[in-house]
Structure 1
Amino acid sequence: MTADDIRYAYGDEPLFSAASLSVAPGEVLTVVGPSGAGKTTLLGLLGLFRPPDAGTVRWEGRDVWGRSDEERLAIRRRIGTVFQEPALFNESVARNVGYGLRVRSSWRDRLRDAAARAIGRTDPSDRVREALETVGLAEKADRNALSLSGGEAQRVAFARALAVEPDVLLLDEPTSNLDPRNTAVLEAVVAEAREAGLGVVVATHDMHQAERISDRVAVLLDGTVIETGPPEQVFDDPDDPRTRKFVTGELLY
């Protein structure tokens, strides 16, 4: 997935002037920047929740917004998104994790799943179980999701995104305000997603986390991505002087 020179404004107030970035399969890209820089909005554009005002979002080399509604919907179903605040339903953990599978399934999908079950292949319930095992919550499948702690709720949100077997995973401040144990679990899930070949984009204000989990870091400042590179280069020897000021705390907003 690639974003080329995207521009976006809220009313008359521009947010992005020309932001570009890309994520490859099997790569973790973190986007860092101050509050208000537009990290969440950028993920929304990558997740196809809204089109950019200008520029292109490309999937497999082609402009997403130049395709038909049906093609674009098919692409959106290949993208999993986890928001900063998990929105869970007053149902079991397993039902919450399976929600994406239910809403994304067409009659063709249901026929395919029925055929898969008939010949002993993985069916949706297996995907729910596997996703819960990945985040360490298999034993709580029957618990009401609203009874979970904040960290457990975020792990359910991760499992829900993983259950649909996406190609790209978008994470918006995924461990904000979580304790170290839940943070470690979710960072391990990110590593597993990368090993499975997913492209992962993480928006975070936590630069220590970005150093731990990233293959590349993109710095979002002044309405654009001013620098992208390996974490050791971006944080220790940046090319742009604004990056150095940001990571050392000299650049205040």
Structure 2
Amino acid sequence: MLEAIAIHHGYENEPVFEGVSMSVMPGEVVAIIGPSGVGKSTLLRLLALFDEPNRGSIEYDSDAIWQVSEQQRLEYRRQIGMVFQEASLFDASVRRNAEYGLRVRQSWADRLRHELSSLVGHTNGTGDAIDALETVGLGEKADQDATSLSGGEAQRVAFARALAYDPEILLLDEPTSDLDPRNTAVIEEAVFEAKNRDIGVVIATHDMHQAERVADRVAVLLENDIIEIGPTEQIFENPTDERTRKFIEGELIY
């Protein structure tokens, strides 16, 4: 389990979070909804261990991550994948881009064996990368130059790159905000595939319908805090906080 406990965080005396708490379990999809600028991306960066909270704790299987050794924290970080809103691909083949996460997570000896195997036509880890590309419908484009892909296809490669090394937690930051319905549907199917692999998924989205489609639980981020978190049906049909209802129905203007 990955858990944020009473997180306080901000920049230059401007608070972003004041006591945020949430968790994600294996095989669970949690959607974070809230208006633009409320801090959804910041929360994901904290969960991804890119940033340390000012106060509070990020825990992985009950270990306070920022209190363990740097080596142990690195091991935890290796179990967490993140897909950003805009895909960043290398000028290389689709396959090489999808393999990147596998490569950086291998030990020096593993990487050496990988390179030696490549010389004789066998690439360790490629099978996982190809499987991930198949999951997002791009297996046939594995040898194509990644720079020739459409924006939607590039985002699917970014998702495959995160999925290829089989993380325990997958964090998605508005992964379909600029995509057409076809690419959006492929990404959402990949989210279900990750869930079926027992990966815990956290997706930040401004798309209410997407949250309803993919999430087991929904967290509502408003006014520097998660004001409500619960089963998706309950959040959308019978929220306990009046602010949640007003936000979902468009009565709160930000």
- Tell whether 2:246 aligns with 1:245: yes
C-alpha separation in 2, matches of 1:68 and 1:62: 11
By how many angstroms is 1:125 displaced?
1.2
Indicate whether 1:41 and 2:78 are aligned.
no
Q: Which residue of 2 aligns with 1:134?
A: 135
The 8 Å contact of residues 103 and 111 in structure 2, kept in 1 or not, is answered as no
CA distance in 1, matches of 2:113, 2:34: 43
1:101 paired with 2:102, answer yes
Kindly provide the amino acid, as one letter, of the partner of residue 15 in structure 2. P
Report the Cα offset of residue 123 of structure 1.
Answer: 3.1
- Counterpart code for 1:44: R
Report which stretch shifted further, 98-107 or 21-30: 98-107
Report 1:53-68 matches (<5 A): 53-68=54-69
Partner of 1:7: 8
Distance 1:90 1:108 in 2: 26
Q: Give the CA deviation at 1:107.
A: 2.3
Please give the root-mean-square deviation of Cα atoms over the aligned residues, in Å: 1.8
**Corresponding residue number in structure 2 for 1:171:** 172
Q: Which runs of 5+ in 1 are unaligned?
A: none
Conserved? CA contact 2:176–2:187, under 8 Å = yes
Aligned to 1:200: 201
Residue 236 of structure 1: aligned partner: 237
Q: How many residues align?
A: 249
Contact 2:219–2:228 at 8 Å: present in 1 too?
yes
| Counterparts of 1:61 and 1:111, CA distance in 2 | 35
CA distance in 1, matches of 2:109, 2:199: 25
User: Residue 214 of structure 2 aligns with which residue?
Assistant: 213
Offset at residue 170 of structure 1 (A): 0.2
Q: What is the DSSP-based 3-state SS (H/G/I as helix, E as strand, rest coil) of the residue aligned with 1:188? A: helix
Equivalent residue number for residue 124 of structure 2:
123
The structural deviation recorded for 1:111 is 7.3
Q: Distance in 1 between matches of 2:20 and 2:148?
A: 40
> How far off its partner does 1:224 sit?
0.6
The amino acid that maps onto 1:221 is L
Deviates more, 1:204-213 or 1:128-137: 128-137
Q: Distance in 2 between matches of 1:23 and 1:206?
A: 20
Could you tell me which residue of structure 2 aligns to residue 27 of structure 1? 28
Deviation at 1:206, TM superposition (A): 0.3
Partner of 2:156: 155
Aligned amino acid, residue 211 of structure 1: E
Q: Which amino acid aligns with 1:140?
A: K
Secondary structure at 2:187's aligned position in 1?
A: helix
2:79 maps to 1:70:
no
Q: Which residue of 2 is the match for residue 222 of structure 1?
A: 223
Over the matched positions of the two proteins, sequence identity in percent amounts to 59
Deviations 1:197-247 (A, max 9, x none): 000000000000000001000000010100011111111110001101100
